[in-house]
Amino acid sequence: MKSTKAAHASIDVSNMSIPDAEEIIEEALSELSYSQDPGLARALRFLAPPGYQVIVELCSENGRSKRRNASADSWSPEEDEVRIYFERVDGDEPQTRSVRNALRSDRHDHRYDEDDAHDPANPADLDARVKELCGALAEAERGGHAFIALKWFRDSFLPRKSFRWNQNPESRQAILAEAIQRGVVLTSKIANPKTPAYPTTTIRLNRAEAGIPEEAQRFHPVAVNGETLTAVLEEERGVL
């Protein structure tokens, strides 16, 4: 096991592009389909399903695909992600690499064009989106969570809202980053028992900066005429 780790550490990927690295991963996953290891049988149902071609994309933490001209060593296992999905093979042979790369490039370019269309050119639009995000965070804080994980809020809670911009991962990341930069959302880190080396990034609303008042006290004492509860209980005990 140690020798395997050492071999992995010695591999130089500085001269490898992102598309090259993606192809290597695709080939490795495809090769798994020929494995005779019974222990892998169930996993292969998901990693190399028969009749499908595996597609791999190296992405940043916010889900955005890495630039096609970036070096493979720009991808970090600590901060970035790998997206794996499958496309049905229509014929006997899967698409050639050149066709596959062309289609992937088209999807990638379209994604960036779409992102540009979602970017608010008007500062007023940006202000409105930051305000909507702050409102959503205030709602999340009312849910009784011990803390709000940045990734959970961005990728799970925020998409549930009916905003114009929040269905796009890059847009969610951009607006959240803007809110943090403005100081209306504060970040901190807490220990993660599952992965102690990588603490969880949490966020909370800076209500003073966001202009959102503190939550009103949910329980308000109500004055009741008559004797105190203690006196009533003592009286009932005397009757018994």
| CATH number of residue 157's parent domain | 1.10.10
The answer to whether residues 128 and 184 belong to one domain is yes
The answer to whether residues 109 and 9 belong to one domain is yes
Give 161-164 contacts, CB < 8 A, sequence gap 24+.
161/132, 161/136, 163/129, 163/132
- pTM score of the predicted model: 0.45
The answer to whether residues 12 and 87 belong to one domain is yes
Task: Express each pLDDT in 176-226 by its tens digit.
Answer: 999 999 999 999 999 887 777 778 899 999 988 878 877 654 444 555 566
Beta carbons of 102 and 53 less than 8 angstroms apart: no
**What pLDDT sits at residue 112?**
44
The answer to whether residues 139 and 203 belong to one domain is yes
**What pLDDT sits at residue 233?**
60
Distance between CA 153 and CA 169 in Å, rounded?
A: 12
The answer to whether residues 67 and 169 belong to one domain is no
φ and ψ of 103, to 5 deg: -65, -40
From residue 12, alpha-carbon distances to 43, 71, 74 in Å are 29, 11, 12
Task: Express each pLDDT in 113-132 by its tens digit.
Answer: 444 445 555 778 899 999 99
In a domain, 227, yes or no: no
In a domain, 216, yes or no: no
Query: H or E element: which one contains 58?
Result: strand 52-59
Task: Express each pLDDT in 44-97 by its tens digit.
Answer: 888 888 888 888 888 887 677 788 788 888 888 888 888 888 888 765 555 544
Number of separate domains in the chain: 2
**Segments forming the whole domain that contains residue 131:** 123-210
Q: What angle do CA 191, 194, 200 make, to 5 degrees?
A: 40
The answer to whether residues 135 and 175 belong to one domain is yes
Query: Does residue 172 register a pLDDT over 50?
Result: yes
Distance between CA 126 and CA 146 in Å, rounded?
A: 29
In a domain, 193, yes or no: yes
In a domain, 237, yes or no: no
Distance between CA 138 and CA 150 in Å, rounded?
A: 13
The answer to whether residues 102 and 165 belong to one domain is no
In a domain, 197, yes or no: yes
Distance between CA 181 and CA 174 in Å, rounded?
A: 10
The answer to whether residues 109 and 130 belong to one domain is no
In a domain, 59, yes or no: yes
CA atoms within 13 A on the CB side of 140: 25
The answer to whether residues 98 and 54 belong to one domain is yes
DSSP class of residue 17 equals B
The answer to whether residues 183 and 113 belong to one domain is no
The answer to whether residues 107 and 163 belong to one domain is no
Task: Express each pLDDT in 142-160 by its tens digit.
Answer: 988 889 999 899 988 998 8
